[in-house]
A = this chain, B = another copy of it.
């Protein structure tokens, strides 16, 4: 790691998501030795996971091997491994099954996972949408529900199998609901003989008073109208109180009546997220930095933590408060801009440049969500658009993003092709469970059973 006898500055980046990857790319031409460590060998474009979960895209369409992304950066090595802790005195990152990795600068960008608000027993009943495995598991459940409904003769069970409940009305929940409607009502419309997939009941249960809580109210209203047109049921101000193998219970806020039951066997969790466990570890190692209740680490205006100028936390794992006291949302653009910013800070330090880069500033290019094909809502600055125009903007921005990596032509083409043809050719039921098609208890935790009514 030395060149001309002079030791090079060692940067360790943990996590190859939006933040970590942009940090690595930003340091590609700097005089640092970069180690990018991740549990997975690919970067994942999480915002499109719901397209995998509904068979429109293949996992490889929204994932790029990390090694490809930094292939041309001779100063960057990629390590597939799992970080287990930090020693900020020795300045090393500890990992399972390998030597600790020494660093001069550490950038932690391990993101968030979903949380069930204390109901961990719901995890196997209502998978979230954070990994490739989550997406293919949800795809298996959704497709299997239609398959089982086709063979079911009891009308009550058939209706239950054709009911899909999405917990959470944020962008993921809304997009997922729209995609299931499209899958059922268009793609698979003529695929069955005993059932009409158009009859699928799709329900969103949302705790707040509107969907897309992060957006302007007028856009929430437009989104709600779109959901209504698609025949998607929306229960606002409603909290899920139980999830079992054959139903979901929710209770309207402030109500005193007993909870309302929705018979269903397919539930998707699109509600809470919680910072990676490494957030707590780094906060402790740095001498007790504050961690909020969603597991996010409080960061300084320059994304360092506590008094450690050599340790950065970025992306979904960071709790970044603007000077106005507003917390930045856990979305890809924040992570990407923080990654780029931190790369600039580190590169300047290494180059001996003492110009003050100032605090991190988030440039909000706007938010957008899509609800079925050719319907979306978007806001940027003071401008809010919806409908086809918003959808085209959504498409354009996603393509732009995907195009910035290696293999841009390939990804671009595949993705556009998959998206513009209405086909969802990736409707594969795979995995071990796929081989037990008639087992009503597959996918349930041991001991749980589906009770036939």
- Measured CB to CB, the residues of A under 8 A from B are 39-42, 58-61, 63-65, 67-68, 71-72, 77-82, 95-98, 132-133, 136, 143-144, 147-148, 150-151, 188, 190-194, 407, 409-411, 413-414, 417-418, 421, 423, 425-432, 434-440
Contact = CB atoms under 8 A, between A and B. Distances in A.
Given A59-B428, A80-B147, A414-B414, A67 B191 contact: yes
Contact of A59 (B39, B64, B95, B430): B430
A132 B64 CA distance: 20
Given A58-B58, A132-B428, A428-B132, A147 B41 contact: yes
A133 B426 contact: no
Contacts of A42: 427-429
Contact of A427 (B41, B96, B425, B434): B41
Given A58-B426, A59-B430, 19 more contacts: A39-B434, A40-B434, A58-B60, A59-B428, A64-B425, A65-B425, A65-B428, A68-B191, A68-B425, A80-B144, A82-B436, A95-B438, A97-B438, A97-B439, A407-B423, A410-B418, A414-B414, A414-B417, A414-B425
Contacts of A418: 410, 414
Contacts of A194: 77
How many copies of the chain does the oligomer comprise? 2
12 contacts: A40-B429, A40-B434, A41-B427, A67-B192, A72-B190, A79-B151, A96-B439, A97-B438, A97-B439, A410-B425, A414-B414, A414-B417
A450 to B, nearest CB: 12
Contacts of A426: 58-60
A190 B430 CA distance: 32
Given A59-B430, A427-B41, A81 B417 contact: no
A58 to B, nearest CB: 4
Contacts of A97: 438-440
B425 A407 contact: yes
A299 to B, nearest CB: 27
Contact of A77 (B98, B193, B421, B431): B193
Contacts of A41: 143, 147, 427-429, 434
A428 B68 contact: no
Most buried by B among A82, A190, A193: A193
Contacts of A192: 67
Contacts of A423: 407, 410
A278 to B, nearest CB: 15
B191 A82 contact: no
Contacts of A72: 190
Contacts of A67: 188, 191-192
A211 to B, nearest CB: 30
Contacts of A65: 191, 425, 427-428
For the complex of A and B, list the 6 residue pairs with the smallest distance between their C-beta atoms, beginning with the closest.
A97-B438, A60-B426, A58-B58, A67-B191, A80-B147, A77-B193
A353 B428 CA distance: 39
A440 B426 CA distance: 32
Contacts of A58: 58-61, 426
B60 A437 contact: no
Nearest to A193: B77
B133 A431 contact: yes
Contacts of A133: 430-432
A439 B95 CA distance: 12
Contacts of A98: 151, 438
B191 A437 contact: no
A139 to B, nearest CB: 10
B410 A417 contact: yes
B61 A437 contact: no
B430 A39 contact: no
Nearest to A68: B191
Most buried by B among A64, A68, A96, A190: A68
A444 to B, nearest CB: 15
A59 to B, nearest CB: 6
Contacts of A193: 77
Nearest to A61: B58
Contact of A191 (B71, B96, B411, B440): B71
